[in-house]
């Protein structure tokens, strides 16, 4: 069970990291959000991914 939760946590770490990078780097995203707000949301997602990874290892 412990290994499954580790793999599951790692999976969501990569999901949040990918979403954050997607919001920052994808120029023609099909959402009507200003660029600065997209960058802020992307940074927030990346910080959350790092926090989840830290908690996963701890």
Q: Supply 29's token pair.
A: 């995203």
The pLDDT, as a whole number, for residue 36 is 92
Cβ contact 24:39 at 8 Å: yes
How many helices (DSSP H) and strands (DSSP E) are in the chain? 2, 0
> What would the pLDDT profile of 8-53 be if each residue is shown by its tens digit?
999 999 999 999 999 999 988 888 888 899 999 999 999 999 999 9
Q: Rounded to the nearest 10 degrees, how much is the dihedral formed by the CA atoms of 30, 45, 50, 53? A: -80
The pLDDT, as a whole number, for residue 43 is 97
The pLDDT, as a whole number, for residue 41 is 95
Cβ contact 23:41 at 8 Å: yes
- Say whether pLDDT at 2 is over 90: no
């Amino acid at each position: 069970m412990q290994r499954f939760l580790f793999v599951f946590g790692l999976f969501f770490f990569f999901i949040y990291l990918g979403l954050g990078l997607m919001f920052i780097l994808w120029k023609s995203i099909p959402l009507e959000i200003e660029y600065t707000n997209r960058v802020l949301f992307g940074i927030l997602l990346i910080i959350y991914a790092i926090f989840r990874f830290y908690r996963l290892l701890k």
